[in-house]
Amino acid sequence: MSPTNVQQMADRIGELLSARLGVHGPDLRTRVRAARRQLPRRVRRQAEYLASAAAHGANPRWGGQIDDARVAQAYDSCLRYLKPLGAWGRFRRRLMHLTATLAFVMLVAFGLSVYVAVQQGIV
């Protein structure tokens, strides 16, 4: 596999990370670090391997040491996870984030009201 193909694969996964998860950065490695908690461990490791293979592919000495089968497997794994995340997945993720934020705010407000009630001697 040529270094150009590996770089194209890394660029494609980077574009999907930007489009699907909203992370940005100059290269795939930066985007994977930004999406660290949003990606499952298995997919994150595959994306990190793809990023390192793309970086090594730029060097002629290390370019021959890239495992083509593992690069293809990493690309397929990342693509399989990121491709289906469409409008529904993004909506669901935003809805869950909003729900969690509201639950946290309500919990803090309840705790604060209990604290004030105890301080006032009501409870």
Evaluate whether 13 touches 63 at the Cβ level (below 8 Å): no
- Burial class of residue 98, CB neighbours in 10 A (0-12, 13-18, 19+): exposed
The Cα–Cα gap between 1 and 18 comes to: 25
pLDDT exceeds 80 at position 13:
yes
The Cα–Cα gap between 89 and 13 comes to: 17
pLDDT in tens, 39-96: 999 999 999 999 999 988 877 777 677 888 999 999 999 999 988 766 777 788 889 9
pLDDT in tens, 33-44: 999 888 999 999
Q: Where are the domains positioned within the chain?
A: 1-85, 86-123
Residue type, 11: D
